[in-house]
Structure 1
Amino acid sequence: MSQRKKTVSREAKEAIELLGLMIRSARLERNMTTNDLASRAGVSRPLLARVENGDSKVGIGSVFEIAAVVGVPLLGDQPNDVSNALSAERRYQSVLRQRAFQAQNRKVDDDF
C-alpha cells in the first residue's frame, strides 16, 4: 500500500524554515547547546535538529515549546500578545457559536 505524499506550499515551507532559523539563532545567542535546549523543551536532540532545519513533519506543539523556551515570539512580539489574541478569539468563537445555534433553531417561513 503506497502512502500519499503530503505537499507543503512554498509559503508554509518558508515560514517553517524561518521559524527554525529563528530558533537556532536564539539558542546560539543564549549560548545553549542542542542538548541543553532539547532537555529544557522536553524533546530529543534529533527532533530539535529537525526543527532547526525546517522539517515540516515535526509536530507544531514541539516547535512552539522549543520556540517558547528560547524566547522566539509566537504570533506577536510581546509576551501577552498571544494571551490577548487567544482571549479575543475565544470571545469571537463564542459569539459565532451562539449565532449558529440561533440560526439552526429559527423556523423558516416558506409559505408563499
Structure 2
Amino acid sequence: MPKTQTPIGVVAKAALSHFAALLRVQRKAKKLTLDELAARIEVTTPTVRKMLEGSPGVSIGTYFQAAHILGVPLFDPDSSRFAVTASKTAEIESLLPKRVTSRPADYDDDF
C-alpha cells in the first residue's frame, strides 16, 4: 500500500526546500557520499535522498541530526543567547495552561 502524501503549506514547503539546499551544499562541501551520510545519521540511503530533496515525509529528527553532522546551524550559534531564549520560552510556557480545550458553544437564550 503506497504511503499517503504529507500535507504541507506553501511557506513550510519553501522553508523545507531551503533547508534541504543548505544540507546538500554542506554534504558536498564535506565530500560525504549519500551512503556515508546515511551511515552517520543511522538511516537508509533512500531516506537521505528524500531528505536532500526536501521531502516533508522525512522526520524532523532526521533533518536535525543531518544538520548537526553537517554543521548547518539550527539556532543562534551563541550558546548564551540560546540559553536565554530557551529560558524565556520555558517561562512563558509555564504561564500557559497545560491543556487547551474547545470552548463550549455560546448559547443565546435571551428571547
Instruction: Give SS of 1:31's match.
Output: coil
| Cα deviations by residue, 1:10-49 (Å, 9 ceiling, x for unpaired) | 1111111111110010111111111111111111111111
The 5 Å alignment of 1:91-110 reads 91-97=91-97
- Cα separation, 2, equivalents of 1:46 and 1:36: 12
Structure 1, gaps ≥5 residues long: 101-112
Report 1:32-111 matches (<5 A). 32-76=32-76, 78=77, 80=79, 82-97=82-97
Distance (whole Å) between structure 2 residues aligned to residue 65 and residue 7 of structure 1? 23
1:79 CA displacement: 5.4
Counterpart AA for 1:68: H
The TM-score with structure 2 as length reference comes to 0.72
Identity level (%): 25
**Does 1:22 find its partner at 2:22?**
yes
Q: Which has the higher helix share?
A: 1
RMSD: 2.5
Per the alignment, residue 8 of structure 1 pairs with 8
Q: CA deviation at 1:6?
A: 4.6
TM-score (norm 1): 0.72
What displacement does 1:65 show?
0.9
Instruction: Provide Cα deviations, 1:92-111, integer angstroms capped at 9, x if missing partner.
Output: 2113349x9xxxxxxxxxxx
Does structure 2 conserve the Cα–Cα contact (< 8 Å) formed by 1:74 and 1:82? no
**Deviation of residue 85 (structure 1)?**
2.8
Unaligned runs of 5+ in 2: 100-111
Report the CA distance between 1:69 and its aligned residue.
Answer: 0.9
